[in-house]
C-alpha cells in the first residue's frame, strides 16, 4: 500500500511538472521573438498529416471539403455562422449616427491644389504613442495632395522586407515608401490568404478604412503615378539604376530585395508606373514583435492557437498581454478586426514604437489585403473569438456601420484618391458581409460571457 501511494505521489508530481512546463513553454513562444515558431503537427485519421488551412466562412452554402481538419477555427466558425443566421434586426438597420459620421470623415478629404512641404512638420507632431494622426485633422486633404505631388529628390531600394519597394526622399526632406502596382483592380488572388505579391491599392484602401474605423494607427498613404524617366531615373541610386531596362515601349526595373530578380521585373505603361506612397513615421523608432497568432506557413503544421481552445489564457499569462496591465491585447483584437475586414491573413509580426511606453500596435504593411472578395477567412478573427474582449469604443464605432454601409463609406472616401477607383466593387461589398460576420462573433462572445465582460473601456 505504501509503495502504491509513493507511486501515485510520484505520478502526480510528474504530471504537475509536465503541465507547468507546457505552460511556461507556451508563454515563452508567445513573448520571445527569437524563439522557434510555436507549432504542432495536425493529424487526420490514418496517421497522415494535413496542412491546417483557414476555414473559409461563406454565405453561399459552400460545404467544407471532406477530410478538412476540425480545429478550433472550425469550431468557432460553426458557432459564428449559427449566430449570423439569428442576428437581431439592429445589425441590419442603418445607424441614425452614420450620416453625421460620414460627413465628418469626408470634410477634411477635399483635394487641395497646393503643394506645401511645411505639412511634413505638422504630420511629425501628430504622431504619439497611441496614434499617428488625431481624430480631427483638417489639414489631411492638403497633406495627402502634397504627399502625392511633391518632387522626388532621391530614390533607392528599400531593403526592408522581402518584396520590391523603393524609399523616396521628397522635397522638404520627407521620406516615403513606394510600392509598385503588380495587379489590375479586377485581379483575384488564388491560393492561401497570404498568397501573391503586395497590392498597392490595398495599402491605399486600408489607410482610408483605418480612418473610417477610428483606428488612427496607419501611416498616411496615397496612390501616386510616377513618370520613371522624368521623376525617378534622374535621382535614382546607382544600385537601383542598374536594374532598369527597356522592354518594348515600357520601362521596367527589378530593384534589390530578398525576392527581387531580373526574371521578375515590374513594368510601367510606357514610362508611367502606378503605386502606393506611404509616409515614413519619422518621429518614432519601431520595434517588431512576433504575433501570438502567427501562422506557421508550413504544410502539415498547425499553429498552437489553431489547436488549443484555451490558447488566449496562455497568451494572457504574459504581463505584456494582460488587459489589466497593458493595452496590447486589446490592440491586437482591434488589429484582428481590421485585418478580417480587409482579408489580411499575413500579419505574422506587428510593430510598435520602441521609444514610447504602452505604444499602440501600428497598422503597417497591409499589402496582402483585398486579394479575394469572395472568401472570408474567419481565423483572422481568432484574437477576438478566443479572448472574447473588445474595446467599447471600437464596438461603438463598428455599430455605426450597421445596415451594410461600411463598403459605401469606404467607397466615398476613396473617390478622393488620386488613383480612383481604388477597389473593385466586389471588395466593397465584401466589407459589409465581413462586418456582419464580425457582429456575429461579438454576439457569440456576449452569449458566452455577458456584454459587460466582453466590452472593456
Q: What is the pLDDT of residue 276?
A: 98
Residue with cell 499553429: 303
| Tens digits of pLDDT across the chain (457 residues) | 444 455 554 455 555 544 444 444 444 444 444 333 344 433 323 333 333 334 444 333 334 433 334 588 888 999 999 999 999 999 999 999 999 999 999 999 876 678 888 899 999 999 999 999 999 999 999 999 999 999 999 999 998 778 999 999 999 999 999 999 999 999 999 999 999 999 999 999 999 999 999 999 999 999 999 999 999 999 999 999 999 999 999 999 999 999 999 999 999 999 999 999 999 987 778 999 999 999 999 877 889 999 998 999 999 999 999 999 999 999 999 999 999 999 999 999 999 999 898 999 999 999 999 999 999 999 999 999 999 999 999 999 999 999 999 999 999 999 999 999 999 999 999 999 999 999 999 999 999 999 999 999 8
Q: What is the pLDDT of residue 3?
A: 46
At 139-154, the pLDDT tens digits run: 999 999 999 999 999 9
Distances (CA, A) of 84 to 226, 348, 406, 442: 45, 28, 18, 10
Which residues are the active-site residues? 346
Q: What is the pLDDT of residue 388?
A: 97
Q: Which of 227, 221, 225 is nearest to 274 (CA)?
A: 225
**Joined grid coordinates for residue 415:** 473617390
Q: Given the DSSP bridges, would you call strands 390-391 and 455-456 parallel, antiparallel or unpaired?
A: parallel
Q: What is the pLDDT of residue 70?
A: 52
Q: Which of 277, 167, 275 is nearest to 225 (CA)?
A: 275
Q: Which of 431, 281, 293 is nearest to 359 (CA)?
A: 281
**Joined grid coordinates for residue 287:** 520595434
- Indicate the pTM of the whole model: 0.86
- Provide the β-strand partners of residue 180: 275
Question: CB atoms < 10 A from the CB of 218, how many?
Answer: 23
Alpha helices, DSSP H, located in 271-322: 311-315
Q: What is the pLDDT of residue 299?
A: 77
Q: How far apart are CA 384 and CA 310, in angstroms?
A: 13
Cis ω before 300 (30° cut-off from 0): no
Q: Measure the CA dihedral 102/103/105/107, to 10°.
A: 160
**Joined grid coordinates for residue 433:** 458581409
Task: Map 369-437 to HEC letters.
Answer: CCCCCCCCEHHHHHHHHHHCCEEHHHHHHHHCCCCCCHHHHHHHHHCCCCCCCCCCHHHHHHHHHHHHH
Q: How far apart are CA 11 and CA 30, in angstroms?
A: 29
Q: What is the pLDDT of residue 254?
A: 96
Q: How far apart are CA 28 and CA 428, in angstroms?
A: 40
Q: What is the pLDDT of residue 183?
A: 97
Q: What is the pLDDT of residue 415?
A: 95
DSSP annotation of 438 reads H
Alpha helices, DSSP H, located in 136-247: 140-149, 200-212, 238-241
Q: How far apart are CA 155 and CA 352, in angstroms?
A: 26
Residue with cell 488587459: 323
At 177-234, the pLDDT tens digits run: 999 999 999 999 999 999 999 999 999 999 999 999 999 999 999 999 999 999 999 9
Amino acid at each position: 500500500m505504501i509503495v502504491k501511494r509513493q507511486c501515485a505521489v510520484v505520478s502526480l508530481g510528474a504530471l504537475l511538472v509536465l503541465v507547468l512546463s507546457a505552460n511556461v513553454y507556451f508563454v515563452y513562444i508567445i513573448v520571445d521573438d527569437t524563439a522557434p515558431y510555436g507549432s504542432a503537427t495536425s493529424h487526420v485519421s490514418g496517421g497522415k498529416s494535413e496542412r491546417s488551412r483557414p476555414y473559409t466562412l461563406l454565405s453561399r452554402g459552400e460545404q467544407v471539403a471532406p477530410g478538412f481538419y476540425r480545429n478550433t477555427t472550425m469550431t468557432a466558425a460553426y458557432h459564428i455562422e449559427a449566430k449570423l443566421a439569428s442576428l437581431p434586426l439592429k445589425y441590419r438597420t442603418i445607424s441614425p449616427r452614420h450620416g453625421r459620421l460620414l460627413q465628418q470623415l469626408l470634410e477634411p478629404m477635399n483635394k487641395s491644389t497646393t503643394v506645401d512641404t511645411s505639412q511634413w512638420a505638422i504630420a511629425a507632431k501628430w504622431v504619439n504613442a497611441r496614434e499617428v494622426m488625431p481624430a480631427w485633422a483638417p489639414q489631411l486633404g492638403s497633406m495627402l495632395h502634397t504627399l502625392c505631388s511633391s518632387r522626388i529628390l532621391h530614390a533607392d531600394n528599400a531593403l526592408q522586407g522581402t518584396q520590391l519597394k523603393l524609399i523616396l526622399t521628397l522635397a522638404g526632406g520627407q521620406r516615403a515608401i513606394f510600392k509598385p502596382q503588380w495587379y489590375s483592380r479586377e485581379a483575384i488572388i488564388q491560393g492561401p490568404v497570404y498568397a501573391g505579391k503586395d497590392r498597392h491599392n490595398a495599402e491605399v484602401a486600408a489607410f482610408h478604412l483605418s480612418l473610417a474605423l477610428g483606428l488612427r494607427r496607419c501611416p498616411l498613404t496615397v496612390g501616386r503615378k510616377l513618370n520613371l524617366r522624368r521623376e525617378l531615373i534622374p535621382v535614382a541610386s546607382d544600385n537601383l539604376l542598374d536594374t532598369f531596362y527597356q522592354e518594348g515601349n515600357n520601362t521596367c526595373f527589378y530593384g534589390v530585395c530578398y525576392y527581387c530578380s531580373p526574371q521578375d521585373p515590374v513594368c510601367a505603361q510606357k514610362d508611367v508606373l502606378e503605386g502606393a506612397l506611404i509616409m515614413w513615421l519619422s518621429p518614432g523608432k519601431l520595434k517588431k514583435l512576433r504575433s501570438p497568432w502567427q501562422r506557421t506557413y508550413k504544410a502539415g503544421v498547425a499553429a498552437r492557437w489553431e489547436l488549443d481552445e484555451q490558447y488566449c489564457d496562455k497568451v494572457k499569462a504574459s504581463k505584456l498581454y494582460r488587459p489589466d496591465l497593458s493595452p496590447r491585447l486589446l490592440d491586437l483584437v482591434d488589429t484582428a478586426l481590421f485585418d478580417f475586414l480587409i482579408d489580411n491573413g499575413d500579419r505574422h509580426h506587428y510593430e510598435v514604437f520602441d521609444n514610447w511606453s504602452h505604444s499602440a500596435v501600428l497598422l503597417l504593411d497591409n499589402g496582402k489585403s483585398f486579394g479575394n472578395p469572395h472568401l472570408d477567412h474567419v481565423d483572422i478573427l481568432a484574437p477576438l473569438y478566443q479572448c472574447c474582449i473588445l474595446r467599447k469604443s471600437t464596438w461603438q464605432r463598428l455599430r455605426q456601420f450597421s445596415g451594410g454601409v461600411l463598403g459605401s463609406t469606404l467607397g466615398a472616401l476613396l473617390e478622393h484618391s488620386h488613383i480612383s477607383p481604388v477597389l473593385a466593387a466586389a471588395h466593397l461589398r465584401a466589407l459589409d458581409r465581413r462586418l456582419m460576420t464580425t457582429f456575429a462573433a461579438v454576439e457569440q462572445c456576449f452569449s458566452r460571457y455577458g456584454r459587460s465582460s466582453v466590452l472593456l473601456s
